[in-house]
Amino acid sequence: MPPMEKAKKIWFNGEHVDWDDAKIHVLSHVVHYGSSVFEGMRCYETSNGPACFRLTDHVNRIYDSAKIYRMPIPHEKETLTSAICETIRINELASCYVRPIAFRGYGSLGVDPTPCPVDVVVAVWKWGAYLGAEALEKGASVRTASWNRLAPNTMPSLAKVGANYMNSQLIKLEAMADGYSEGIALDSSGYVSEASGENIFMIKNGAIYTPSSGSSILPGITRHSVITLARDLGFTVTQRAIPRESLYIADEVFFTGSAAEITPIAEIDHIPIGNGTRGPVTKQLQDAFFGITDGTAKDKHKWLTFVGG
């Protein structure tokens, strides 16, 4: 991942501050205990200006994550939604990645977060292809992680929270140490779960499969978009437990995520998937997806929010 490109302003508790001034105290609760809930979405360049992909769904999810963690976000959803649009406009980026985050701030340490304020931030920056531009076409080389994804009743996987990404980091660092770009983690029963920051799909004999929410996944918004587009295209999509080895013998496997978009997988554990390159169904789904995000196809599900400016 190349170093981050600074944008101009960050929305910090209701005000836009300069990028370099968006700071917190080192004794903030979140630094010690991972107490943040966050989102990641992309804002795409279209001929009608920048458009956020599934803005409302991302805003709803951060409030859901906060609810699971009993964290009161001190703003209405509408306020956060307008803050996101304003932050994109004010930074004058044609396209960007958008990171709203709410976290337990500075006030008191100790596990109990209630004495700490809940701070809310919205940042945007330019972010290229998550697993490299080449992977979008040629496919990524990945491994099965030796770490499992979060077991049910330990850390809730439906919440997108900072602390969950310590598990993600174990998966990612192990994969990179072995020369892979990503790791696929299994759930605590040994079935396929998800990658460090992506959901996973497989295609076998023209049918599409993805792990269900019972496999410790974050139910991704891109995952939902791909399921919808695939069904629009006439495919059957089944959410079910997927044994690891069925990935090896699948015709195609791909990742989905706001950052990763739809990234094909060329090989897993050095076993080529299908013919070891992007498959035709993955390409068809990419075309449908990027057609909507670049504004050239009809946005029939109303997934784009034009931010103006």
* Contact call for residue 222 and ligand PPE (CB under 6 A): yes
Q: Check binding of 223 to ligand PPE (CB under 6 A).
A: yes
Q: Which of residues 133-192 bind ligand PPE (CB under 6 A)?
A: 168
Please report whether residue 198 would count as binding ligand PPE according to CB under 6 A.
Answer: yes
Of 58, 57, 88, 93, the residue nearest 307 (C-alpha): 88
Candidates 119, 182, 194, 252: give the one binding ligand PPE (CB under 6 A): 194
Nearer to ligand PPE, 152 or 272 (CB): 152
Q: Which stretch binds ligand PPE (CB under 6 A): 15-23, 104-112, 193-201, 264-272?
A: 193-201
For the four alpha carbons of 83, 86, 90 and 93, in that order, the dihedral sign comes to positive
Cα 247 from Cα 240, distance rounded (Å): 13
Which CB atom, from 194 or from 267, has the smaller least distance to ligand PPE? Answer: 194
Binding-site size, ligand PPE (CB under 6 A)? 16
Binding ligand PPE (rule: CB under 6 A), the pick from 9, 40, 183, 208 is: 40
d(CA 6, CA 125): 7
Instruction: From 65-73, 111-119, 195-203, 292-300, give the range in contact with ligand PPE by CB under 6 A.
Output: 195-203
256 binds ligand PPE (CB under 6 A): yes
Q: Which of 139, 183, 257, 279 binds ligand PPE (CB under 6 A)?
A: 257
Residues near 202 by beta carbon (within 8 Å), at least 6 away in sequence: 208, 209, 210, 242, 246, 247, 250, 252, 253
Q: With respect to ligand PPE, which residue has the nearer C-beta, 221 or 266?
A: 221
Residue 258 contacts ligand PPE per CB under 6 A: yes
Query: Residue 93 or residue 116: which is nearer to ligand PPE going by CB?
Result: 93
Q: How far is the CB of 306 from ligand PPE (least distance, A)?
A: 20
Select from 139, 183, 197, 211 the one that contacts ligand PPE (CB under 6 A).
197
**Is residue 298 annotated as part of the catalytic site, yes or no?**
no
List of E strands, the chain: 9-12, 15-18, 36-38, 41-44, 51-53, 96-104, 118-125, 140-148, 182-186, 192-195, 199-204, 207-210, 237-239, 252-257, 261-268, 271-272, 304-306
User: Cα 293 vs. chain centroid, distance in angstroms?
Assistant: 16
List the catalytic residue out of 126, 160, 172, 300.
Answer: 160
| Helix boundaries (H) for the chain | 29-33, 55-68, 77-91, 133-138, 164-177, 221-232, 244-248, 280-293
CA distance 87 to 17: 10
CA–CA separation, 268 and 87 (whole Å) = 39
**Which member of 218, 227, 268, 288 binds ligand PPE (CB under 6 A)?**
218
Contact residues for 23 (Cβ-Cβ < 8 A; gap 6+)? none
User: For residue 288, how many other CB atoms are within 10 A of its CB?
Assistant: 18
Give the whole-angstrom CA distance, residue 218 versus residue 199.
7
Tell the smallest beta-carbon distance from residue 128 to ligand PPE (Å): 13
Residue number, 116 or 259, with CB nearest to ligand PPE: 259
Stretch that binds ligand PPE, among 5-13, 67-75, 216-224, 294-302 (CB under 6 A): 216-224
Residues that bind ligand PPE (CB under 6 A): 40, 168, 194, 197-199, 218, 220-223, 256-260
Residues annotated as part of the active site: 160
